[in-house]
Structures are given as C-alpha cells and as structure tokens.
Amino acid sequence: MKRHAKAPAHRPRLFEEPARPADVHTANIDGAARGNPGPASYAVVFRRPDGSILKTLHKHIGRHTNNVAEYYALIAALDFATAHGISKLRVLSDSELLVRQMQGLYKVKNADLRPLFEHAQKLARGLAYFAVEHVRRELNRDADRLANQALDNTAGRAAPSHHREPESFATRHAPLATRKIRARYKDGTLHPAEPLDLPDGTDVELTVHPPRKM
C-alpha cells in the first residue's frame, strides 16, 4: 500500500495577519553590510496608502552583520511609524530570515539578533495593524540603493541622514556585550558603582565577594 507523506505541521505565527485595511502605510526596508561583519547601514522607504513616498531614511550604523542591519531597518521603520502616529503598517523586506522570524516561522537563535527581534516585536504589537512580507530583491531596489548610498557616503565615517535619531539609538539596540559591574550591598539593596544603562529584561549574573577586613 502506498503511504502518503504527512503534511508539515502548521506553526502559529506571532502576528496573524487580518485582512489588510485600505489606509495602511507601506515601508520597504533593507540592511547592507560589506563584510560579515563589516561597515553596515540601513534604509527605509515609507509610502502613503496611495503609494506616494512619505519619507526616506538611511544611515550608516558602524560595524555589524547584514542580519543585524536588516533589524535596524525594521526598528527604524517601526520607530518612525510610532513617532508619527501611523498605526497601520505593512513592511516589505527581501530578508527571508527577518520576515520568517517576525512571522514566528523561524526561531531566533542568534544572540545578537535576539534583543533586536524582541524590541521590534514589542513595537509591532503596539500598532493597530502590522504585517511583514518577503519580496524579491528586484522589488526592493529603492531601499537597497539608499542603504548602499549610506555606505558609499561614509568611508568609515558617520553618514549624513535624512532621518535624525537619538544618539542613544545604537546603544539601545546594539547587542549587549558581557561586562563586569561593581556594586555594594547595603541595607538590603545593591548599589551599582556606575550607571548600568541596561534595557528591561536584561539578565544579570552576580558574583558575591566577602567584605574586606578592616
């Protein structure tokens, strides 16, 4: 008897996409890195519901991998939408990894991408409508051109950008490096010796040393 192969189990998406509303804005995003890691940039092309261009963003972001740059582009698009009262957003990207991760079809195993993914997820859930779709590279030419233009204009320096962001943008979204923190325990509370500047949800491992004898 011939056996039929079982259909692959359906994995639920993080964002079940309802019917697309008529008044949705669109953002084509792209990240570029010359090397892996290497000089990197992102670009976003925002379009109004009628298809006309609302805003273009592009910026050099230092030394990162291409996948990190793709997430910078997504976060920049979501930040812009949130700051300008855009509640319905459709994101188009030629990065299959980013799209499938945001859809919940791929797991986020890379430690550098995890905080970026979680931040993007949080921003997306704050919108009334959010969809992210994969498109072929040739359909994402405008964003690709701007991302490469940002790299061409930098030559290792910070590039001028149409979009001014807080200076802490890279610090807030860049992957965290492991570092030692000194703190003193007093009256039931730990008192750090310096400002921590850590995002919510950061895991902190403590090593306790006995107090020095006077």
CATH number of the domain residue 90 falls in:
3.30.420.10
Per-residue pLDDT reduced to its tens digit, 85-96: 999 999 999 999
Give the domain range for residue 69.
Answer: 25-173
pLDDT reading at 209 higher than 90: no
Two tokens at 7? 């259909």
Residue type at position 164: R
Closest CA to 168 of 201, 197, 193, 203: 197
Query: Is residue 104 a part of any domain in this protein?
Result: yes
Question: For the CA atoms of 97, 26, 22, 54, what is the dihedral angle to 10 degrees?
Answer: 170
Q: What is the DSSP letter of 120?
A: H
* Phi then psi dihedrals of residue 189, to 5 deg: -135, 140
Q: Global pTM?
A: 0.67
Query: Is residue 179 a part of any domain in this protein?
Result: no
Query: Is residue 194 a part of any domain in this protein?
Result: no
Query: Residue 157, exposed/middle/buried by CB under 10 A (0-12, 13-18, 19+)?
Result: exposed
Per-residue pLDDT reduced to its tens digit, 49-108: 999 999 999 999 999 999 999 999 999 999 999 999 999 999 999 999 999 999 999 999
Number of folded domains that form the chain: 1
State the Cα angle at 114 between 55 and 109, rounded to 5°.
125
Q: What is the DSSP letter of 78?
A: H
